[in-house]
Structure 1
Amino acid sequence: MSNSVSILKQFFILGCLSFGGPAAHIGYFRQTFVERLKWLTDAEYAQIVALCQFLPGPASSQVGFALGYRRGGLLGALSAFVGFTTPSILLMLGLAIASSSLMGTTWFEGLMHGLKLLAVVVVADATLGMYRNFCTSKLAAALCVATAAALLTLPSLITQMLVLAVAAAIGQAYLKNNDQPQVASQGINWWPLLLFVVLFVSLPLLAKSGGLTALFGDFFQAGALVFGGGHVVLPLLQKLVGAQLSSDVFLTGYAAAQAVPGPMFTFATFLGYELAPQAPILGALLATAAVFLPGFLLILGLFNHWQALANSPRLSGAINGVNAAVVGLLLAALYQPVFVSAVLNATDMALVVVGIYLLKRQQWAILWLVLFFIVSGVGLSLLA
């Protein structure tokens, strides 16, 4: 139980401070659990990130769920999810109630801009740290650069999946680790996978009855069909529920999801509140649970088997290739959407440079960096 409390505490702190979207979350997790707490090595962390890149669902939240599962079993996984997601859920509920009065105010926009600048610092640090660890050979570095170039030139989910597949194939052939220690497989955990299939097949049929069942089914489908998470969920959710909401309400919720810390999939909290006026709180909670559930069931089913597979020479080579490509993904995300949406002028760039110095040289904790960028963003907005 004490282990689960520790997991809950660490992830709750991260849930309050993790601004910047999925790429930034991967950076926050790495800084906290690999560098500071040393719960696992960089290589073990990279295996988890690689698995979550290949599964549908909210990738960064799946990484957090898997970290909790590795540390404390199912209770640890649930503690990680509750800790990381609760702050975002509460904020999205609050914004759903008060969105019209907050959005567009000068100080609030300044606060959000400052936190976007913090995300630039965090993603840049994660990209550099992972590059040093996973791009030690010329081939791995080339895969990183090629991935970043492909995604910057042709940004799409199809491009992302193609470059990951190509990187895995090249890594399997040329980046094998023949001295990997063998780990006995604990087997596939079948009940979560069977539950995933049953819900995926049955919910669309039950949804014909309408009401909260239809709401749960729509958001479960969204969580089951989206790879990568974050901004990728927008078009699918718009297709599923767009006809039931005005575009202004939908886009307000999307803007709110980008403004709060934690997973962007809590966009579902806002939408569930709006889609269930007869029981808005229940609708918000059902939509949130439904959109996260598919990805978490897949993690529970495949995690233990993946840990063993990841140590076979051929698959370890594929993972090495994918790890190099993931660094390229982060590098591309550092530019678009993180950098281009945050750094608008020379003053913004100066704050980013100062932030990197405070993080790397002065070893400031994330909390102090959050406060620094909030004060800077609000101050600049009021002076403008």
Structure 2
Amino acid sequence: MPRKNALEVFLVFLRLGLTSFGGPIAHIGYFRAELVGRRRWLDDVAFSDLVALCQFLPGPASSQVGMALGLGRAGWPGLLAAWLGFTLPSAVAMILFAYGVAQYQDIAQSGWVHGFKVVAVAIVAQAIWGMARVLCPDVPRAALAILAALLTTLLPSSIGQILAIAVAGLLGRWWLNIEQPVGGHAHGYRVSRRIGVVALSLFTLPFVLLPVWAAATGSPVLSVLAGVYRAGGLVFGGGHVVLPLLQTAVVPSGAVSNADFIAGYGAAQAVPGPLFTFAAYLGAVARWPLHGWTGGLLLLATIFLPAFLVLAGALPFWESLRERRGVRMAMAGVNAGVVGILASAFYNPVWISAIHGKTDLALAIIAFGLLTFGRAPPVLVVAFAGLFGWIAAI
């Protein structure tokens, strides 16, 4: 990819950020059509290899693909430009929604917001359905998913989630025996191994330093930042898996109520771009010293920081790492485990917060059918659920 200026990268990704609905897999389809097919920034082999790397790493895969494409096109300024262009449209929309919920408390109890909560049930169910078919196609991986669901149900905290991921990875490394062919060649992104080592070191430090600092000072801000960073750094298998990790970061402490959390998650389905911008909503609506735009932008940066660091750390080592069978088996186990984590979150907090009667159940079933079998765009299903909830409340 020839180096160009960062402004070009920003404008291309801003357009994608305004129009890319449908979740990470759909985003990658938009990227391929625009940047491989139309603009020819890179070829299909290089693009497929990049997608494979970002699916392998923790973090929001589509955003990491975008960051790497910006890096290859215009260097480090291009990486930042790609992230800003793709992320800001949905982040701004989510912060504005948070202002509505925070300033007009009746909104949080309105029928149309309840519709958003119910549609979240259908969206998470669809995510579990799709991920289970791909990531748990056999008995061993299904068993790992069930084990992870049990662990996170019995230990409904960040400790339980980390333990579930670790156990699934270790068991996958030693127990699974599946073929995962590797093809293609890594594309050069001009990131040295020295930079990679520094980035990986910076990626790991906040996992230790932020919780210790928060405990030592008793700061609610540091506690939330530690939880949100952990959520951004431990997400495998798709954007929806961030739901239980963020819930444990902000709800038990009282920074965000469970009702506001689920309402915002439902609303996040109606905007284009990465689901991780849900963190901007949480920062804006939270009851903590920082709120509004300041809190929203701070949590937005916090949740994406580990994605940037782990991508920069992995790029120089990807070609050798991807060939190691043990690493691929461990990742297969982790991917199965995150299906179980999401299944646990489907019950608590999603189901118990939204389904209060037969009408709610009917709406969730209809929304699930539209999304899964009707292939309806998520934004239309969310709008339908909001309208249904508003009518039902009259």
- Fold shared by both chains (TM-score > 0.5): yes
CA–CA distance in structure 1, aligned partners of residues 331 and 286 of structure 2: 36
Task: Please give the root-mean-square deviation of Cα atoms over the aligned residues, in Å.
Answer: 4.2
Structure-1 separation of matches of 2:95 and 2:369: 32
C-alpha distance in 1, partners of 2:309/2:334? Answer: 19
* DSSP 3-state at the match of 1:189: helix
Q: Matched residues in 2 for 1:199 and 1:36: separation? A: 33
2:84 aligned with 1:84, yes or no? no
Residue 178 of structure 1 deviates from its aligned partner by 6.6
1:336 and 1:91, CA in 2 relative to 1: closer, same or farther beyond 3 A?
same
Q: Which of 365, 370, 377 is the matching residue for 1:358? A: 370
Q: By how many angstroms is 1:81 displaced?
A: 2.7
What is the aligned-residue identity percentage?
24
Return the offset for 1:137.
2.2
In the alignment, is the contact (CA less than 8 A) between 2:199 and 2:313 conserved in 1? no
Cα 1:353–1:225 shift into 2, 3 Å: closer
CA apart distance, 1:190: 5.2
Q: How much has 1:148 moved relative to structure 2?
A: 1.7
Per the TM alignment, residue 362 of structure 1 is displaced from its structure 2 partner at its CA by 2.6
Give yes or no for contact 1:12–1:87 (8 Å, CA) kept in 2.
no
Change (3 A) 1:158 1:47: farther
Q: Does 1:302 align with 2:313?
A: yes
1: CA distance, partners of 2:317 / 2:344: 27
AA partner of residue 156 (structure 2): P
**For structure 1, which segment, 140-149 or 283-292, has the greater mean C-alpha deviation from structure 2 after superposition?**
283-292
Separation of aligned partners in 1, 2:225 and 2:197: 19
- 2:263 counterpart letter in structure 1: A
Once the two structures are TM-superposed, the CA of residue 302 in structure 1 deviates from its matched residue by: 2.6
Q: 1:163-174 maps to which residues of 2 (within 5 A)?
A: 163-173=164-174, 174=176
**Stretches of structure 2 lacking an aligned partner (at least 5 in a row):** 1-6, 34-43, 72-78, 235-241, 269-276
Distance 1:376 1:230 in 2: 28
TM-score (normalizing by structure 1): 0.70
Alpha-carbon distance in structure 1 between the residues aligned to 2:170 and 2:150 = 18
Give the match for residue 27 of structure 2.
33
SS in 2 for 1:275: coil
1:151-184 Cα distance to aligned partner (Å, 9 max, x none) = 2233222222122112111222223547423755
Asked if 1 retains the 8 angstrom alpha-carbon contact of 2:116 and 2:385, the reply is yes
After superposition, the C-alpha distances for 1:259-300 in whole angstroms (9 at most, x for unaligned) are 33344432223459x737xxx877446644663464345334
Matched, 1:259 2:263: yes
Contact 2:172 / 2:330 at 8 angstroms: preserved in 1? yes
Residue 65 of structure 1 deviates from its aligned partner by 3.2
Q: Partner of 1:275 in structure 2? A: 289
Number of positions where the alignment pairs a residue of Structure 1 with one of Structure 2: 335
- Taking the TM superposition and a 5 Å limit, the aligned residue runs for 1:105-184 are 108=110, 110-173=111-174, 174-175=176-177, 177=179, 179-181=181-183, 183-184=185-186
Question: How far apart in 2 are the matches of 1:203 and 1:36?
Answer: 36
Whole-angstrom distance in 1 between the partners of 2:209 and 2:338: 35
Match of 2:36 in 1: none
How many angstroms does 1:374 deviate by?
Answer: 0.7
Change (3 A) 1:31 1:301: closer
Moved more, 35-44 or 351-360: 35-44
Supply the distance in 2 between the matched residues of 1:374 and 1:102 (Cα, whole angstroms): 12
Q: Which residue in the other structure is 2:350 paired with?
A: 338
Cα distance in 2, alignment partners of residues 347 and 46 from structure 1 = 42
Residues 114-159 of structure 1 show CA distances to partners (whole Å, capped at 9, x for unaligned) of 1122111111111111111111222111111221232223322222
